[in-house]
Amino acid sequence: MSDKRVVITGLGVFSPIGNTTSEAWKNAVDGNSGVGRLSNIDPEPFTSQVAGEVKDFDPVALLGPKNARRNDRYTQLAMAAAEQAWEASGLSGETIDPERVGVIIGSGVGGMETFETQHTTALDRGPRRISSMFVPMMISNMAAGQVAIDLNAKGPNFATVTACASSSHAIACSVDSIRLGRAEVMVTGGSEAPLTLMSIGGFCSMKALCTTYNEEPEKASRPFDKDRAGFVIAEGSCILVIEELEHAIARGASIIAEIAGVGMSCDAHHITAPAPGGEGCARAMRMAMKDAGMKPEDVDYVNAHGTSTHLNDINETSAIRAALGDQADKVMVSSTKSVHGHMLGATGGMEVMLTALALKNGIVPPTATHESPGEGCDLDYVPGTARKADIQCALSNSLGFGGHNVCIALRKYKGDN
């Protein structure tokens, strides 16, 4: 463990369940689904026709016409969420050294919409008509770069690209940056805008997406349920402002929760399937607990990766049992993907945010669509309805294609713990 402690002081979000922290939190707790029938593009060509879309997002109004025109949707979402989080943190560029502020933002696919649009242009009109902004709009590091420009953040800056673990890796690396003294404040999380022809079509070809609830989209994402049949693809961005505890105290910041530890591992097993028994995930969970100085019996809640796919849910259940032992039967587990869908590289940030708010508010959000447990899924998944509980310690899991595993350990902040 490092002597430096890291806390969350700002949150920003644009997601299928809300474009403010309070709205997203309320909908997660109330179990109000943000999943609907695809509307951004024609759903008819796809076997899976449901998605979690961000509603009422106006990049021109939020970012100005220039930024809206020169950035892919995934970067626009990140910039808007980062501005929201920065404002919520109470930080000011006039009172903080910009060289002590860093930005790490993850994205699984980056500017997919830009790539597809410009590829069509090249085929139809020739390569000389490709936009001069194609490369900077498409590359996966541009969200981190643009947010840094927007906030004048001159500290550590890069992107993490580890599929669905991207934003959790970004948060973990940001924690490390503060602990190593490379920054006092980090702006971190993830952003994704994958609701495009190639992205949805590719996942459909993999048979990874749910195809059985096209007429009842709000029921499609069913983590740990016996009727789960694939994940629901979603877009959005969630950005956190985290900082060194003493720095936050000195400026009188409002602290949401403490990030007490991180764990990272690799399955080294298969490009898409998790290791048998969730072995890699279990190792990441143990690492995070050790880093945080937590014992299994300290853990009250696990915000699960819980994608609603057969292999993830059964193997993550096994991982939780392997990591927590007897405590697994006492711990509350939920997957908020039941309402916001799978935001791919942005989903870890979303789930860390909701876990932090669960600690702060003493409410565990439900697995809203869970009705009957699937075979091998035998934990307390907080089905249907949120649960009031004075939780003190929690874990948030993120797993990605390629065998990437990240666990973030959080602790309730009480001012003297």
Q: Which residues are catalytic?
A: 164, 305, 342
Q: Rounded to whole angstroms, how far apart are CA atoms 336 and 333?
A: 10
Q: Tokens at residue 5, please?
A: 């402690």
Q: Rounded to whole angstroms, how far apart are CA atoms 32 and 22?
A: 13
Q: Rounded to whole angstroms, how far apart are CA atoms 110 and 373?
A: 35
Kindly give, in sequence order, each residue whose CB lies less than 8 Å from that of residue 346, ignoring residues fewer than 6 positions away. Answer: 77, 106, 107, 166, 167, 189, 190, 191, 192, 235, 236, 237, 238
H-helix or E-strand containing 67?
A: helix 65-69
Hey, which residues does 10 pair with through a beta bridge? 241
| Residue 229 burial by Cβ neighbours in a 10 Å radius (0-12, 13-18, 19+) | middle
With H, G, I as helix, E, B as strand and everything else as coil, classify residue 237: strand
Q: Rounded to whole angstroms, how far apart are CA atoms 97 and 185?
A: 10
Q: Rounded to whole angstroms, how far apart are CA atoms 355 and 410?
A: 8
Q: Rounded to whole angstroms, how far apart are CA atoms 77 and 79?
A: 6
Q: Tokens at residue 282, please?
A: 């279990």
Q: Tokens at residue 283, please?
A: 């190792």
